[in-house]
Structure 1
Amino acid sequence: MSTQATGATMQFRVRYVRLGDVQVRDEYMAMASEAALRQKLQQEGFTVLSVKAQQRGASWLGWLRPKQEIKRDAYGLFCKEVRTLLRAGMTVVEAVDTLSAKEHLRDQSGPGSANGAETKVSLAGMLLTRLQKGLSLSTSLSELPQTPPVLVAAVRAGERTSNLAEALDDYLRFDSLVLNLRKKIISAAIYPALVSTVGLVISVFLLLVVMPNFASMYETVRTGGAEGTGVSGGAAITVELTHFIGKNRTMVIGVLLALAAMLMVWVSSGQAKANMMSLARRIPWIRLRVEDFQLAMMYQALTLLLKGGYAMTEAMEVASRSALSAPLRVALQEVKQRIERGGSVSQALADHGLCDEVGRRLMAAAERNGEFHAAADVVSRMHGERFELFVERLTRIAEPLLLLAVALVVGGIVILMYMPVFDMATQLL
């Protein structure tokens, strides 16, 4: 069947790799046809492993279906369990086989196993299949989609030095730093999200339930009842709004539900995160703090890789594939090229904005004593502490401002709701 689309692009799921890469890439791409997509990737030097056309609507309805994916947290738990089993005297294959058997027994004894429900994706099971074919653990990990490149590099370094348990320890320290920074963001966002949700629910309740109950009374006043002569000014606007909501309650509820559905799709598709990051990069002081978070991850990745025996340029190549923004990724690639031409590591990092004066001096000292991994670890902690301080201060500022905003919105609705009542009382005097 032809995958060409007339006058429009199609969405494809593509698995491809570049010779020498440590990770098979699995991405969604838009192109007019499968042939055009294959040609484009081949021209860029990639080897295409598979191309699958996505059905229309799959991009925004995919969140409705359960996804058979390996969560990022699964890699950290897997590394922790494998490290424990290796130190207990097992080989890599025995350790992975043990974890696979444990997950299989858990799936069989779990709810829904008796009626033939689909089991979850097993990371250990997928790796065991590859290990039994004679592949190394690092190669097996690189063939799985969404495997962190830093994990593959750390495992490969451990295989080179025959000390895989220590390499997994190093990766777990890197993973712990990243998770701790992300947990601080999530913890800081919980309270504002809760306050905003409660304020929104109260506002919707007042608009859809409380205000329409006054509609008949407001209507009597508006038409100039037995004692009244009607209302004017802000009270008149409130009467009109109340009357409109009362007459069109079904339509208003439908619009609100449609907005809620659009919000869910926006968040679940990942577009919300991309838009928020784009907005953050436009605000200088927020952009600097976001870069602190990314630089903390980058330098921690360099620490892990340099300690594992990678050369500086190799470590930078792997670190550039971590969760860095496009500008930082480009800057790191330029630093790598400058070092390959014989440039100073510390000066190249400073010139491209990847470290401050303290970081430059630490890296300059490392150029003299060779302890690059120790210097990178210190720089990583510096950026991490700055980001943590930023999150703490932002939370302390945002919480009272958000409470004030919610109070003003709810209070404003209540005042608008009772303005006609005050007007009625004035007319009756």
Structure 2
Amino acid sequence: MKIKIEKQEIKKEESNLLTTSLFKTTFKDKHKKKFYKNLLQLLSSGVNLKKAIDILQEQSTNKSEKEVLVLLGESLTKGKTLESSMKQTDKFTPYEYYSIKLGEETSSLDKVLDQLYLFFERKEQMKKQITTVLTYPVFVLLITFGVLAFMMSSVVPMFADVYKQFGGDLPNLTKKIIYISENFRTYLFIFFGVILVISIIVAMYKNTTTYRKIVSGFVLKIPFFGTIVKTIFLTRFCQSMSLLLSAKTPLISALQMVEKMIRYYPIEITIKPICKEVIEGQSFGNTIEKYKVYDRSMVSIIKVAEEINELDTIFKQLSDQYADEVSHKTKIIGVVLEPLIITFIGLIVGVILIAMYMPMFNLSNIINNGM
């Protein structure tokens, strides 16, 4: 079975999704995870689809989730399929409703729902891991900024007034710290101004090809962190391919769907050339080998899986493997960042205090010269 995805239709749907997200509440990933899990449980227990949606609607306490369920229920009442109903709500991605369509047409809806639940569960777990790792560093940096602002606006000026009364020449480091303190508000204004300009630029150009190419290339070059980002998207790629191929989606159609939902430039730009070469008769494993974004070990495993016609199983194993790798590396980041941040804070506070107390060592000479 081959499913054709019209480019104009996809672009129109993505435009509608963007417009909807700007003016309405969004259907978050955690709500989608819950939706797919509960729907699977109800259908597995023998409840029909319309009744299952009605039950989920009655149980829902979240406004955005309830809104989506109401729309799905109304559409199903009119005789539409679940795939058509999901598409009409503008709350689901093409990846989701095309997967549901495959499940409906191949009588494997339960399997597709389970895979979609696992997909969003994994995605949410990754978000939580990254949030957990970054929460402490961000909190500490905010405290550091507050301490620095206090010292520059209150402590340093107090020392500067004392030294002005006694006169005498101050050490260069002390002069520099005092100069920064005197112009601290200006530097602060410049800092927030730069942040504002960067935020505006990102908001304006984040969806452009040039911006995504530059940013993704820059991130990949960041030691350790760049590898983690790439691994996260490889996990999503493998998990998506596992879901689609296990639902008996043709390889080309699966790749086309993945291209629409990955939103990671280094992988996204490889999909069309890969599809073209596979259509021309090249093997999938030999084709992806040409692109550095795919790990060599991954390519080797895919070549073997392709020979034994077990691509869906291998992609599932690869997604689990990459997910474990991301989890391990994010924990390492947390372990490494804590001492680095503490050291950074100590250096900042230490330099300021040393600069302020250096004149104290020859204070008696300054007093004698002043008298």
Same fold (TM over 0.5): yes
The verdict on how the C-alpha distance between 1:77 and 1:120 changes in structure 2, with shifts beyond 3 A counting, is: closer
Letter of the 1:80 partner, please give it: K
In the alignment, the residues of structure 2 paired with residue 18 and residue 78 of structure 1 have an alpha-carbon distance, to the nearest angstrom, of 28
Residue 398 of structure 1 corresponds to 337
In the alignment, the residues of structure 1 paired with residue 310 and residue 171 of structure 2 have an alpha-carbon distance, to the nearest angstrom, of 78
Structure 2 unmatched runs, 5+: 1-5
How much does 1:332 deviate? 2.1
Alignment of 1:207-226 (within 5 A): 207-221=152-166, 224=167
How much does 1:74 deviate? 1.9
Structure 1 residue 292 corresponds to structure 2 residue 231: yes
Letter of the 1:102 partner, please give it: Q
92, 95, 100: which is aligned to 2:49?
Answer: 92
How much does 1:124 deviate? 0.9
How much does 1:141 deviate? 1.7
The answer to whether the 8 A contact 1:22-1:152 is kept is no
13, 26, 29: which is aligned to 1:69?
Answer: 26
In the alignment, the residues of structure 1 paired with residue 246 and residue 226 of structure 2 have an alpha-carbon distance, to the nearest angstrom, of 30
In the alignment, the residues of structure 2 paired with residue 268 and residue 397 of structure 1 have an alpha-carbon distance, to the nearest angstrom, of 32
Structure 1 residue 327 corresponds to structure 2 residue 266: yes
Letter of the 2:52 partner, please give it: A
Partner SS for 2:281:
coil
In the alignment, the residues of structure 1 paired with residue 112 and residue 329 of structure 2 have an alpha-carbon distance, to the nearest angstrom, of 31
Alignment of 1:263-342 (within 5 A): 277=216, 279-283=218-222, 286-342=225-281
In the alignment, the residues of structure 2 paired with residue 270 and residue 197 of structure 1 have an alpha-carbon distance, to the nearest angstrom, of 28
Alignment of 1:27-426 (within 5 A): 68-103=25-60, 122-145=67-90, 147-221=92-166, 224=167, 229=168, 231=170, 233-242=172-181, 244=182, 277=216, 279-283=218-222, 286-353=225-292, 355-426=294-365
Q: Deviations over 1:219-239 (max 9, x none)?
A: 312xx3xxxx45454344445
Letter of the 1:86 partner, please give it: L
The verdict on how the C-alpha distance between 1:218 and 1:338 changes in structure 2, with shifts beyond 3 A counting, is: same
10, 24, 37: which is aligned to 2:13?
Answer: 24
The answer to whether the 8 A contact 2:43-2:110 is kept is yes
The verdict on how the C-alpha distance between 1:199 and 1:347 changes in structure 2, with shifts beyond 3 A counting, is: same
Letter of the 2:290 partner, please give it: D
Letter of the 2:70 partner, please give it: G
The answer to whether the 8 A contact 1:238-1:420 is kept is no
Residue 34 of structure 1 corresponds to none
The verdict on how the C-alpha distance between 1:219 and 1:266 changes in structure 2, with shifts beyond 3 A counting, is: farther
In the alignment, the residues of structure 1 paired with residue 88 and residue 230 of structure 2 have an alpha-carbon distance, to the nearest angstrom, of 30
Letter of the 1:333 partner, please give it: K
Structure 1 range deviating more: 287-296 or 371-380: 287-296
How much does 1:255 deviate? 6.4
How much does 1:371 deviate? 1.7
The answer to whether the 8 A contact 1:339-1:348 is kept is yes
How much does 1:338 deviate? 1.2
How much does 1:147 deviate? 1.9
The structure in which a higher percent of residues are helix is 2
The answer to whether the 8 A contact 1:141-1:147 is kept is yes
Q: Deviations over 1:392-416 (max 9, x none)?
A: 3333333322221121112112222
The verdict on how the C-alpha distance between 1:216 and 1:180 changes in structure 2, with shifts beyond 3 A counting, is: same
The answer to whether the 8 A contact 1:296-1:379 is kept is yes
Structure 1 range deviating more: 88-97 or 277-286: 277-286
Letter of the 1:317 partner, please give it: Q
The answer to whether the 8 A contact 1:238-1:419 is kept is no
Q: Deviations over 1:43-70 (max 9, x none)?
A: xxxxxxxx99xxxxxxxxx8xxx85222
TM norm structure 1: 0.71
In the alignment, the residues of structure 1 paired with residue 256 and residue 39 of structure 2 have an alpha-carbon distance, to the nearest angstrom, of 27
In the alignment, the residues of structure 2 paired with residue 303 and residue 22 of structure 1 have an alpha-carbon distance, to the nearest angstrom, of 25
How much does 1:368 deviate? 3.2
Identical residues among aligned pairs (%) = 19
Structure 1 unmatched runs, 5+: 1-16, 30-50, 53-61, 108-118
Q: Deviations over 1:314-366 (max 9, x none)?
A: 11111111224223112122112211112112211222346444333432332
In the alignment, the residues of structure 2 paired with residue 267 and residue 405 of structure 1 have an alpha-carbon distance, to the nearest angstrom, of 28
Letter of the 2:232 partner, please give it: F
In the alignment, the residues of structure 1 paired with residue 10 and residue 189 of structure 2 have an alpha-carbon distance, to the nearest angstrom, of 50
Partner SS for 2:261:
coil
How much does 1:297 deviate? 0.8
Question: How big is the alpha-carbon RMSD for the aligned residues of Structure 1 and Structure 2?
Answer: 3.6
Partner SS for 2:47:
coil
Number of residue pairs matched by the alignment: 358
